[in-house]
């Protein structure tokens, strides 16, 4: 059909471009609420889905770069609020919302991400109490993963030094909030494990908002704590703050200062406990020795009673046999029947001969039985058993004493390692008043001409102050 005068005819592409321009300029920053359906992540990393309500629906897309900033993982059925711009896909003539930000309806994105990760890690057993390890009674070396600046590290170091002076502190300085903080914290925990020279690790920071504490709610930190071979204490924020790191750690402390108090025992209490342990071991060893001695005495008494009883029994049997032989003596028989023996001499001689032979046989049998019993051999056997038990008692006593001495040397060596005298041996000295009181902790307390005493490792030397100069020194942790 010929073109009428004044009529402007557009091609489909031109019309689509005009519509696109009008929509994108008029709807460049809109908020739209709806339910997600057909949510699909492509290999490119881009996400395509549909937003709908009970009356309409609209296609939506979120590019890979924007999706990377999501704090939660959307899914079909989620009710969300999206911020974006309306655009037109020219090849199909369809309009869509290009989503730049998204958050759950009625629940903050950070809180949703927290609940999602918590549920995921709980299913993998990250929070199981059975896998959590007790802290060492005295951690001679403490690793701290936190910011090197601020009150947190100062408070923890001050608390540890106050409760147990001499404990070694190793600091892994990291950023504790902002982009990349979670990766730095996770790497520091792994580095502490690779270093392997600390007995416990404290991971923490001071209080703040949910956003400030978010690095401790990220999966890399949780997995680093879970993989740690060294016990980990989580000390994030205040008592009311809870993070994913708290649930995974072997122990959750309400504050960083509380963490320092929980891992560092009171030195005086430790020394008192060691003293009581040594006293208890001494009493136990004494009781064991007395018990073995009583057992040995009892065995000796039983052996002596058995020997006396056996000897008395055989003595009584021999006495009875002697009386019996005496009653049957041929002399007694000849005296009582002397008158009749004349006629019966020949027969009586034979009878006496048989009787004597029988009695000799009985006597020999009794002697043989006596030798077969041999009480002396029983006594020797009992004596050998007694000697073996006495030898075993001595060996056991020596082993116990050796073990107790080794344990005492180990405790003594550890106490010597943190002794103030050991510091003097390395070349340090202490300035005191002439009567030995340590009162000069600052040059401000000294004045020219003042008498002092300098204590070194091998003795004291008097001195006086000629002049003074205060140099400011910064304490490093």
pLDDT digits (tens, 9 = 90+) for 88-140: 877 777 888 899 888 877 656 677 778 888 889 999 999 999 999 999 988 99
Q: Residue 475: inside a domain, yes or no?
A: no
222: CATH: 3.40.50.2300
C-alpha neighbours within 13 Å on the C-beta side of residue 307:
14
**Cβ burial, residue 388 (10 Å; 0-12/13-18/19+):** exposed
Q: Residue 140: inside a domain, yes or no?
A: yes
- pLDDT for 472 equals 46
Q: Residue 337: inside a domain, yes or no?
A: no
- pLDDT for 156 equals 92
55 & 170 share domain: no
259 & 392 share domain: no
Residues above pLDDT 70, as percent of the chain: 78
194 & 245 share domain: yes
- Which residue shows structure tokens 């020394």? 271
Euclidean distance between CA atoms 195 and 140, whole angstroms: 15
What are the residues whose beta carbons fall under 8 Å from the beta carbon of 260, sequence distance 6 or more? 155, 156, 157, 159, 160, 163, 202
How many distinct structural domains can be found in the chain? 4
57: CATH: 2.40.50.140
Tell me: the pLDDT tens digits for 449-465?
Answer: 888 888 887 888 888 88
175 & 204 share domain: yes
Residue 273 structural domain? 267-325+362-418
174 & 41 share domain: no
123 & 84 share domain: no
Tell me: the pLDDT tens digits for 385-423?
Answer: 888 888 888 888 888 988 888 888 888 777 777 777 777
Euclidean distance between CA atoms 79 and 52, whole angstroms: 9
199 & 249 share domain: yes
Q: Residue 331: inside a domain, yes or no?
A: no
Q: Residue 340: inside a domain, yes or no?
A: no
Q: Where does a domain end: 56, 74, 107?
A: 107
Residue 83 has which token pair? Answer: 């911020």
Specify the 3-state DSSP secondary structure of 324.
helix
- pTM over cut 0.95: no
Please give the helix or strand (H or E) that residue 173 lies within, else none. Answer: strand 168-173
62 & 102 share domain: yes
378 & 447 share domain: no
Q: Residue 155: inside a domain, yes or no?
A: yes
Please give the helix or strand (H or E) that residue 38 lies within, else none. Answer: strand 30-41
94 & 154 share domain: no
Does the pLDDT value for residue 199 go beyond 90?
A: yes
Euclidean distance between CA atoms 43 and 60, whole angstroms: 17
What are the residues whose beta carbons fall under 8 Å from the beta carbon of 402, sequence distance 6 or more? none
Q: Residue 182: inside a domain, yes or no?
A: yes
Least trusted range by pLDDT, from 23-32, 351-360, 368-377, 404-413: 368-377
256 & 291 share domain: no
Q: Residue 456: inside a domain, yes or no?
A: yes
Euclidean distance between CA atoms 49 and 76, whole angstroms: 9
Q: How confident is the model at residue 475 (pLDDT cuts 50, 70, 90)?
A: very low
Euclidean distance between CA atoms 382 and 298, whole angstroms: 13
Tell me: the pLDDT tens digits for 290-342?
Answer: 666 667 666 767 767 777 777 777 676 666 656 655 555 565 555 655 666 66
91 & 204 share domain: no
Residues above pLDDT 90, as percent of the chain: 25
């Amino acid at each position: 059909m010929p073109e009428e005068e004044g009529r402007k005819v557009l091609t489909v592409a031109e019309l689509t471009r005009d519509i696109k321009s009008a929509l994108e300029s008029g709807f460049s920053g809109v908020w739209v609420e709806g339910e997600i359906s057909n949510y699909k992540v492509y290999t490119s990393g881009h996400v395509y889905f549909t937003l709908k309500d009970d009356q309409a629906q609209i296609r939506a897309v979120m590019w890979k770069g924007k999706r990377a900033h999501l704090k939660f993982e959307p899914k079909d059925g989620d009710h969300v609020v999206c911020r974006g711009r309306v655009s037109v896909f020219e090849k199909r003539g369809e309009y869509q919302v290009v989503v730049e930000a998204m958050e759950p309806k009625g629940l903050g994105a950070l809180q949703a991400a927290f609940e999602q990760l918590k549920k995921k890690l709980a299913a993998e057993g990250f929070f199981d109490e059975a896998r959590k390890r007790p802290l060492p009674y005295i951690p001679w070396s403490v690793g701290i993963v936190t910011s090197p600046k601020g009150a947190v590290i100062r408070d923890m170091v001050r608390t540890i030094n106050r409760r147990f002076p001499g404990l070694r502190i190793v600091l892994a300085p990291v950023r504790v909030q902002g982009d990349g903080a979670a990766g730095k914290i996770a790497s520091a925990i792994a580095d502490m494990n690779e270093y392997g020279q600390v007995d416990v690790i404290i991971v923490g920071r001071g209080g703040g908002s949910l956003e400030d504490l978010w690095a401790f709610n990220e999966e890399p930190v949780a997995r680093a704590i879970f993989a740690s071979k060294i016990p980990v204490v989580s000390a994030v924020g205040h008592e009311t703050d809870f993070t994913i790191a708290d649930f995974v750690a072997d122990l959750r402390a309400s504050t960083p200062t509380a963490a320092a108090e929980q891992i560092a025992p009171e030195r005086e209490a430790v020394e008192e406990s060691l003293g009581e342990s040594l006293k208890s071991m001494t009493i136990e060893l004494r009781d064991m020795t007395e018990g073995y001695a009583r057992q040995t005495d009892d065995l000796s008494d039983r052996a002596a009673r058995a020997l006396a009883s056996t000897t008395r029994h055989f003595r009584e049997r021999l006495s009875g046999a002697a009386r019996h032989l005496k009653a049957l003596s041929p002399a007694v028989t000849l005296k009582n029947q002397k008158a009749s023996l004349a006629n019966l001499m020949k027969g009586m001689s034979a009878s006496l001969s048989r009787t004597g032979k029988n009695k000799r046989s009985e006597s020999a049998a009794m002697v043989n039985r006596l030798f077969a019993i041999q009480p002396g051999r029983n006594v020797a056997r009992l004596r050998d058993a007694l000697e073996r038990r006495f030898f075993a008692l001595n060996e056991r006593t020596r082993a116990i004493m050796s073990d107790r001495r080794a344990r005492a040397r180990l405790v003594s060596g550890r106490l010597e390692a943190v002794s103030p005298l050991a510091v003097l041996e390395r070349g340090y000295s202490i300035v005191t008043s002439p009567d030995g009181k340590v009162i000069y902790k600052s040059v401000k307390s000294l004045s020219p001409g003042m008498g002092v005493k300098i204590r070194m490792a091998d003795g004291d030397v008097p001195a006086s102050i000629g002049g003074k100069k205060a140099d400011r020194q910064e304490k490093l942790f």
